[in-house]
Structure 1
Amino acid sequence: MLFYFTAALVAAADQFVKALIRATMAVGESVPFWGSMALTHYENSGMAGSRFQGYARVFAVLAVVFIAIVLYYRRKGEIHGPLMDASMGFLTGGAAGNAIDRFWFGKVTDFLEFRPGGGILNLADIAINIGVVLFLIGGVLDYYRKKQNPLAAGDEQG
């Protein structure tokens, strides 16, 4: 349930905040937020760093393929444990949040600007980053677990 809860919460929160930004701020409008951050309404039809502008729907299809792969491996039982469930939930929710924008609007609404020169993100992007960090932590923990107890790691030898 952690996987589904995390994915749904991330996608819903991302879509809610993006709708608020679109409803209350003009594109390009910026409001100081916190320290060196600002809320800036930006529309990105590409991917991270505004690369590949105009290919939003292609990236939406890739996000759906990614989500399908995650669901397939979860069903096979190859993604398990709370840390990996949370990781894949953040990744899937983030991918879904941005895919919804790409399919629906042909672009992604970004709004969290990190100044100076730190880029502009949305909640889905942040969730994807959290998911990657959790995935890496899970991989490192799994590596050390297997190193400490090689027989319990998979029974490939016995």
Structure 2
Amino acid sequence: MLFYVMAILVIVMDQLSKYLIRANIHMNETFTLWGIQLTHIENSGMAGGLFQGYAWLFGVLAVVFVICVLYFRRTGEMKGALIDCSFGFLVGGAIGNGIDRLLFGQVTDFIIRSGGILNLADHAIEIGGLLLIIYVVVRWWKSKH
């Protein structure tokens, strides 16, 4: 259940934030909200603006990724709250960006951070990846002791 709650929460927050940005902020407009600098851009490629124009491909890869995660969850090899949260963040982020890529042909980014401009789905994927690394390390550590 935790997996689904996390994934749905990420998707809703991501899509709502992107909708609000697209509806209220002009392209390339920069503003500050609660001390966070935001700029509205549209990215038809992947992180860092690489491979522009291939949004459809990354959208399809997001679908494949989600199917793989659902398969791993079904096999039951990976269990527990930590991996459920990790997969929830990863799947929610993949679906959030996948929706943009498949419906609009580009992803709405707006959170300025060193290294680029991201969105909530990107941050969710980073958190999910970090939780996955922690899960793997803890699992390895437990198997050795």
- If the TM-score is normalised by the length of the shorter chain, which range does it land in? over 0.9
Task: Please give the alpha-carbon distance, in whole angstroms, between the structure 2 residues aligned to 1:106 and 1:42.
Answer: 13
2: CA distance, partners of 1:5 / 1:34: 27
Q: Which structure carries more helix by proportion?
A: 2
Aligned residues: 145
> 1:44-64: per-residue Cα shift (whole Å, max 9, x none)?
000000000000010000000
Is 2:62 the counterpart of 1:63? yes
Corresponding residue for residue 24 of structure 1: 24
Instruction: List alignment gaps of at least 5 residues for structure 2.
Output: none
> What residue ranges of structure 1 are gaps of 5+ in the alignment?
149-158
Q: How far did residue 73 of structure 1 move?
A: 1.1
Task: From the CA coordinates, give the structure whose radius of gyration is larger.
Answer: 1
1:6-155 to structure 2, matched below 5 A, reads 6-33=6-33, 35=35, 37-114=36-113, 117-148=114-145
Q: 2 CA distance for matches of 1:78 and 1:69?
A: 13
- Tell me, in whole angstroms, the C-alpha distance in 2 between the residues paired with 1:108 and 1:58: 13
Amino acid at match of 1:118: G
Query: Match of 1:80, SS?
Result: coil
String of CA shifts for 1:63-91, please: whole Å, max 9, x gaps: 00000000011111123110000000000
Q: Specify the code of the residue in structure 2 equivalent to 1:65.
A: V
- Deviating beyond 2 angstroms after TM superposition, the runs of 4 or more aligned structure 1 residues are 32-35
Shift of 1:32: 2.5
Amino acid across the alignment from 2:75: K
SS at match of 2:38: strand
TM-score (norm 2): 0.97
Q: What RMSD, in angstroms, separates the aligned Cα atoms of the two structures? A: 1.0
Q: Normalising by structure 1, report the TM-score.
A: 0.89
